[in-house]
Amino acid sequence: MADSSAIDERIEMLKAFDETQAGVKGLNDAGLFKLPEIFVRPPEEVAAELTHEKARVEVEIPVIDLSGVEEAGRRKQIVEQVRSAAETWGFFQVVNHGIPLSVLDGMIDGVRAFIDQDVDEKKKYYSRDITRSVRYNSNYDLFESKTASWRDTLSISYMFKHINIVTCFMICRYSTVEYSKHVEKLGNFVLGLLSEALGLKTEFLRDMECLKGHRLHCHYYPACPEPELAIGLMKHSDSGFLTILLQNQLVSGLQVLYEGRWIDIQPVQGALVINIGDLLQLVSNGKFRSSEHRAIANRTGPRISVGCFFSGPITNSNKIYGPIVQLITQENPALYKEIVLSEYLMKFLSTGLDNYRALDYYKL
């Protein structure tokens, strides 16, 4: 009875928080000195975190300079760097990627402008309906996760043709559309390098429609009164093929799990973070690595990040993906089953982020 009562009480607290439609930003603006209970991680998790901090090491993910990539010799060198990073880390940063700094800064400023609006204005977009092209909320898995995360999110899907009509009323409409055009182009370019790193033709992964349509998740992490008890974004791996992340320079918060330890991914001026998703690990038959990562809470803020997620043609309910045939040999048999894309993504969306590891369900 006690457990049932505690669960009911938690659900009521979650509902009360969600119904404000003010998100974590609203709590921060209220000047809290103590973290609300729904955001407090379990004691054993916090204790393990303190132990980990003592064993922390200074290692950095690869930073790859894309300048001169059209020169044959230089391209071969870059492809090798991408291959090594994709196989070992599953993460790397790119510089000289072709997106102007003004576009990157404009995207961050646009997210800040949206979040800084009056609550009544943001409520127009507040929703938990995953079919909406534009939606704003706090924690998409608020009612499924064990602990609420200290962040708000503006999500914009570019899967549908009417997206420009939907975004035309948004305060960040210009910066968002401009950034989206640039990051889609970069995504296709990086996918070409990854194809070559697998020993395939440049267009191979693109022709598989790995980057058909994309969505932006614009995360806002305000200052947290008790960051040691909270989490910005739970440990997880990305479900799609490829993610390109833009983060502002003010606060570091992104970490990747590498050889059993959490490694900080420090913001680099003008750089973008690239990471491999679960679907790319699956189709590459485990050659590329989809690494678990998270975002920690900070006492200072805000931290703003914009993740561009390429998850394939999700509007095609019958699309099937499996290990690429050209990568399968007698010595290197298939490691994963084929998946139906729509079923795969619905499984992800109906499960708490802290309880889901997509590839576990599809191993042979």
Q: What are the structural domain ranges in the chain?
A: 2-361
pLDDT for res 164: 52
SS (H, E, C) 276-320: ECHHHHHHCCCCCCCCCEEECCCCCCCEEEEEEEECCCCCCCCCE
What per-residue confidence (pLDDT) applies to 56?
Answer: 54
In contact, 218 and 113? CB cutoff 8 Å: no
Strands (DSSP E) found in 208-260: 215-221, 233-236, 242-247, 254-258
CATH domain 2-361 topology: Jelly Rolls (2.60.120)
Q: Using one digit for the tens of pLDDT, what is the confidence trace for 174-205?
A: 899 899 999 999 999 999 999 999 999 999 99
What is the pLDDT averaged over residues 278-298? 96
Q: Which residue has the tokens 């390429």?
A: 310
**H helices of the chain, where?**
2-20, 23-29, 43-54, 72-88, 101-115, 119-122, 163-167, 173-197, 204-207, 278-283, 341-349
Average of per-residue pLDDT across 206-225: 93
Residue 315 pLDDT class (50, 70, 90 cuts): confident
pLDDT in tens, 5-36: 878 899 999 999 999 999 999 999 999 899 99
pLDDT at 104 (0 to 100): 97
User: Distance between CA atoms of 133 and 155, rounded to whole angstroms?
Assistant: 8
pLDDT of residue 159: 61
Confidence category of residue 146, pLDDT binned at 50, 70, 90:
confident
Q: How far apart (Å, rounded) are the C-alpha atoms in residues 189 and 194?
A: 9
**Residue range 288-294: mean pLDDT, rounded:** 95
Residue 93 confidence (pLDDT) above 60: yes
Instruction: Look at the block and give the residue holding tokens 């977009």.
Output: 125
How many residues appear in the chain? 364
Identify the burial level of 158 via C-beta atoms within 10 angstroms of its C-beta, where 0-12 means exposed, 13-18 middle and 19 or more buried: buried
Higher pLDDT, 361 or 128: 128
The band of 54, judged by pLDDT with boundaries at 50, 70 and 90, is very low
Greater confidence, 59 or 172?
172
Note the pTM of the prediction, 2 decimals. Answer: 0.92
Indicate if the pLDDT at residue 166 is higher than 80.
no
